[in-house]
Structure 1
Amino acid sequence: MRSGVKVAIVGGVFVVVASGVGYGGYNLWQGINGGSGVGTRSAGAEEKRSGPVTGDEVESAAKEFLAAWAAGESDRAAQLTNNPVEAGHAVLNYREGAKVSRAEITPGKAVGATVPFTVSATVTYEGQSKPWTYSSELTVVRGLTTGRPLVDWKPAVIHPKLTKDGTLRTGEAKAGAVKAVDRKGVELTKERFPSLGPVLDQLREKYGTKTGGEPGIETFVESGTEGVADSTLVTHVQGKPGRLQTTIDANVQAAAERAVKQHPGASVVAIKPSTGEVRAVANNPAAGFNTAFEGKQAPGSTLKIVTAALLLEKGLVKADQVTECPKNAMYYGRTFHNLKGFELGNVPFSRSFAKSCNTAFIKLIDDVRDDSALGKEARNVFGIGLDWKTGITSFDGSIPEETGGEAAAQYIGQGTVQMNVLNIASITATAKYGTFKQPFLVSKELDGRTFAEAARSLPNSVGRQLRAMMRATATNGTGAKAMASVGGNDKGAKTGSAEVGGQATSNSWFAGYSDDLAAAAVVQEGGHGGDSAGPVVASVLKAG
């Protein structure tokens, strides 16, 4: 902002520090109390304003709110927002719950109605103080009933990690400290592996005490949500860490971190097929929601791994059997087409799989004679929907029962199918190994949990044909370009492009394996699977 206003507490007294203007704390508050200072709003003195907030209104409203917040004046700060009840409680808790004894808030230049700012605070607990610096932002809107410019209240205004159910606290952490290590004993930290931040938080909350860790003194966000770990913001006194062995491979994790940074909205997971051990998990953005484990999206044609297994098991196709791949196919009045309307004519089914021909799959649905068969195959062979216990919160996929055209859409990974890259990486791992091994991050011996088990393995002949088709996809199909640099004695792949309503460009999906490592990735609005998600998977496989 032009004035460079700062609000601070110095020696226990809150003041306003301004550079370039004569602007004192008293005048700042006159606008609220009806005086003649900036932001004056005397009752009846002016008509209720309407329309978008002006630049001056944004600047003055932001200054007033930040000053009230820094001063610990929760009631005043609350009245400068469009949600006084929640805002007032949060500002009060900032001082009383988080134990902030001093705060200096520096606004930045407004971008439209949004004002970024930095906070330099001091947290004091039991006579010991520690600095706390971070950035956040606020947005100014016009009040619906008063017409006044008000801060659009969100808990993230106070701190970007604060949510509606969360609370800032300073005191003894609820979980013991842990030193998480990879499968070879390399320490895993948030600083080195940012994507592991949410993972390490959950592992600490769940296994801190089980590893002998003792809690330290911290400023943290108490999540208030079951399954969501508290987030440490400032460590005042280190706890005694317990050693937690994970299945992560530091080299594979590092490759995954680098790969997802190339694309906004990218996620990747790598799994060892023969055991189910998770070797890497990475997201961009790294902080916040763990999309790789908890996301729910249509996976596009990567799900054809399951569909092909179903059709092979039913005896409706063989890898080398000729099937039709027309430009369009209809099922119960719903028409399906191939990417850019291509057609292959009568070709071996392995060719339709390698080129990701949607219509070849759709034309065989009627012969299955069971619209719910795909979900059964996914559950009974690939372990989808079996309540996985990975060690942290995860979603294990869903293919709900459908009929007609909606069931047909599921065959090509669209419609009501919901997956994430953990699920698709596991499906790929099952195709490679032949038997579902539930993915996990920490040993079940640590807490005695029971792993999910699928009802049966892939029949040997089905597994061989499925891998042959995935091998063809990786060598001369839609995955060939991405997999060209991947070595190994045996490799396979499957691409996917998931059409999502409202998006101009489809989501890019890719699944692949090389020897005893399988991986899957998604890039939001990344287009064709081989173009964006493919190189992410290739980078991870090469690191393994």
Structure 2
Amino acid sequence: MPVARSVKVGIVGGVFTAMVGVAGVGAYNIYTGLDGGGGSGTPGVRSQAAAADPTTRAPLTGKEITATAGSFLAAWSSGDTAAAAALTNSPETAASDLEAYTTGAHIGSVKTAPGAATPGGERFTVTARIAYGGQNSTWTYGSSLTVTRNSAGDPAVAWSASVLNPGLASGDTLLTSTRDAPDLEVTDRAGNVLTGDRYPSLARIIADLKQRYGDRLTGGTPAIGTWVRKADGSDGPMLHVLRKGTGMRLRTTLDATLQSAAEKAVSGRNGAGVTALDTRSGAVLAVAYSPADGVDLALMEDSAPGSTFKIVTAAALLDSGMTPSSTAPCKADDNYANGRMYHNDSPTLHKADATLAWDFAQSCNTGFIRQAGRLGSNGLKNTAAKFGLTREWSVGTPTLDGRPDMPDSSAPDELTSEMIGQGELGMSPLVMASVAATAASGDFHQPLIVDRGLVEGPVATASGLSSRTTGYLRQMMRGAITDGTASGVMSGFGPGSGAKTGSAEVSGQSTTNGWFAAYAGHVAAAAVVHDAGHGNTTAGPIVAAVLRAGR
């Protein structure tokens, strides 16, 4: 709890060293000034009698601060926890915390040494001697304390659990013991350990994987150390290791190199998400989003994918008998069957003798919607099923609703809207990366982030695309790079690559979401950037950066 604004807080200014020789008494924190809870009176507020006394309203002097801190540390060092607690602004809470620390941390002695002064206090180095289970260890860490006035107006140590150790919150305790189970490390496919500190976008996923699969793994030996028992009874972090354990390892499909590239690519972009997959297996290679403490836009996004969905629509039209060279006139504005009027992103985009390949490369909306009669009410959805978009997915970690969103497209205006990636469609970069992967290989492999044997729930299957449709689709996606809207951002990618740009209108936004889906070699990736404009300049650089890392 922060210090009440009306309370003057003094920081220990003296230099001193305290030795503790009482078994079980441990390291302490002299770090953050907090008004306590659980003591007599209201924290940070003096009684009326004290408030009436001018001397109690005076700022703390350096002498008062030094004397109070020194007395507290001397009492604690001597093992007189009752006297130490009495020198705080919450004696009852302090006494309880000190007793719990004494019995739980197994610290035989403590030595403190002064450190550098800071704007909020003065840091100290704490060296603690720990003995437990035949293990002896020295633990050194930084700590500090603050001095305030108690409810009677007297100088007192501002009490909180963090006075014992900076890693403790209110109600937490320190314990030295053997952990109940071996540590669990999450690794990439090559055995590199993945952590949320190094890969911020994976923090949520790593925690979920540990909880989801930890009790299904075997092996390893538990560590012995000093760790936090949280106020709710759960285990907190281990702060000091007396004996290292051998951890269990959960191998994921992720690739540390691609993950690093993905984290860097989305860094600093608000509302961005990207997912990369292995086109040969559907293995999830990278997941990143920004801000990393926000919504997981890589796996949990649910919005219209814009023209990136023309990959599916083009496949459906190819399945209906069209070829890349089939005529598909591109008009500036057009409709189908007297339905909704559509336009292109650029009012100058039109070509009377356009082909399906030209429409795809230039992302002409009207050239696509005019072909709706070839698909009927089920043609688009039937082809979407070949991409696995009508089945439930179990990826191994939560994704939005566990499945893509392919709504009923029987209504004419809904069908034409879906043909250009709008309407009621709801997709994520994970889904669109899978679409690109299916286009690249012709086969659908449901994305997975862990070995299939660990996954509970259905793993979707689908027929994939015919060799004819796959060949034509790859030709058209390559054309988007060589002669179309993806040419700039995908410059330098060779014949084994293909892409599709997208911009999606979203209700309530003045600017479109940028989308981009592409593959190069055996890596496919897709990205979205919210409220950012055209996909080739917003999401495209993110995808291109990840694909380059996969070369």
The one-letter amino acid paired with 2:324 is A
| Partners of 2:320 and 2:374 within 8 A in 1 | no
Counterpart for residue 505 of structure 1: 511
**Kindly tell me: are residues 389 and 121 of structure 1, through their superposed partners in 2, closer, same or farther at Cα, counting changes over 3 Å?**
farther
After TM superposition, the score normalised by the length of structure 2 is 0.67
Aligned to 2:267: 261
1:349 aligns with 2:356: yes
Aligned to 2:166: 131
- Name the CA shift for 1:175/1:202 in 2 (closer, same or farther; >3 Å): farther
Partner in structure 2 of residue 122 of structure 1: 161
Pair 1:483-2:490 in alignment: yes
Following TM superposition, by how much is the alpha carbon of 1:376 offset from its aligned partner in structure 2, in angstroms?
A: 2.6
Alignment partner for residue 208 of structure 1, among 214, 224, 244? 214
Cα offset for 1:235?
4.3
What are the equivalent positions in structure 2 for 1:389-404 lying under 5 Å apart? 389-395=394-400, 396-402=403-409, 403-404=411-412
Residue of structure 2 equivalent to 1:429: 437
State the 1:345 CA deviation. Answer: 2.3
- 1:351-370 paired onto structure 2 within 5 Å: 351-370=358-377
Letter in 1 for 2:45: G
Compute the displacement of 1:3 (Å).
Answer: 6.0
Alpha-carbon distance between aligned partners in 1 of 2:475 and 2:195, rounded to the nearest angstrom:
39
Residue 517 (structure 1) aligns with: 523
Q: Distance in 1 between matches of 2:374 and 2:302?
A: 29
Change (3 A) 1:181 1:330: same
Counterpart of 1:392 in structure 2: which amino acid? T
- The question of whether the paired residues in 2 share the 8 Å contact of 1:121 and 1:132 is answered with no
Contact 1:507 1:528 in 2 (8 A): yes
Q: Secondary structure at the match of 2:465?
A: coil
Q: Which residue of 1 aligns with 2:331?
A: 326
Is the CA contact (8 Å cut-off) linking 1:8 and 1:16 kept in structure 2? no
CA contact (8 A) 2:36 2:160 kept: no
Could you say if the C-alpha distance between residues 11 and 345 of structure 1 is closer, same or farther in structure 2, counting changes exceeding 3 Å? Answer: closer
How does 1:431-470 map onto structure 2 within 5 Å? 431-446=439-454, 451-454=459-462, 456-470=463-477
Shift of 1:449: 5.8
State the shift of 1:369 in Å.
Answer: 2.1
Q: What do you get for the CA RMSD once the two structures are aligned?
A: 3.9
Bigger-Rg structure (1/2): 2
Q: Which residue of 1 aligns with 2:481?
A: 474
Q: Answer whether contact 2:228 2:238 (CA < 8 A) is retained.
A: yes
Q: TM-score, normalised by structure 1?
A: 0.68
**1:113 matched residue in structure 2:** none
8 Å Cα contact 2:274/2:297 also seen in 1:
no
Structure 2: tracts of 5 or more residues without a match:
10-32, 52-89, 94-143, 149-157
CA contact (8 A) 2:35 2:159 kept: no
Partner in structure 2 of residue 410 of structure 1: 418
Q: Does 1:541 align with 2:541?
A: no
Corresponding letter in the other structure for 1:325: C
Q: Does the 8 Å contact 1:175/1:205 carry over to 2?
A: no
- Displacement of 1:504: 1.1
| CA drift at 1:407 | 2.1
Once the 2 structures are TM-superposed, how far is the Cα of residue 348 of structure 1 from its aligned partner? 1.8
Counterpart-to-counterpart distance in 1, 2:342 and 2:537: 23
Q: 1:175·1:204 contact (CA, 8 Å) conserved in 2?
A: no
Distance 1:539 1:12, change over 3 A: same
SS at match of 1:321: coil
**Using a 3 Å threshold, how does the CA distance of structure 1 residues 503 and 448 change in structure 2: closer, same or farther?**
closer
Offset at residue 170 of structure 1 (A):
10
The amino acid that maps onto 2:431 is N
| 3-state SS of paired residue (2:298) | helix
Q: Deviations over 1:435-489 (max 9, x none)?
A: 10011111012357652111x121111100100000010122111111014x354
CA contact (8 A) 1:179 1:244 kept: yes
What is residue 85 of structure 2 aligned with on the other side? Answer: none
Deviations 1:478-501 (A, max 9, x none): 11111014x354111000001111
Give the number of equivalent residue pairs. 413
Following superposition, the deviation at residue 401 of structure 1 comes to 0.3
Contact 1:444–1:450 at 8 Å: present in 2 too? no
Q: Which residue of 2 aligns with 1:383?
A: 388
Taking the TM superposition and a 5 Å limit, the aligned residue runs for 1:152-171 are none
- Could you give the per-residue CA deviations for residues 418-446 of structure 1, whole angstroms, max 9, x where no partner exists? 00000000000000010100111110123
Contact 2:396 2:455 in 1 (8 A): no
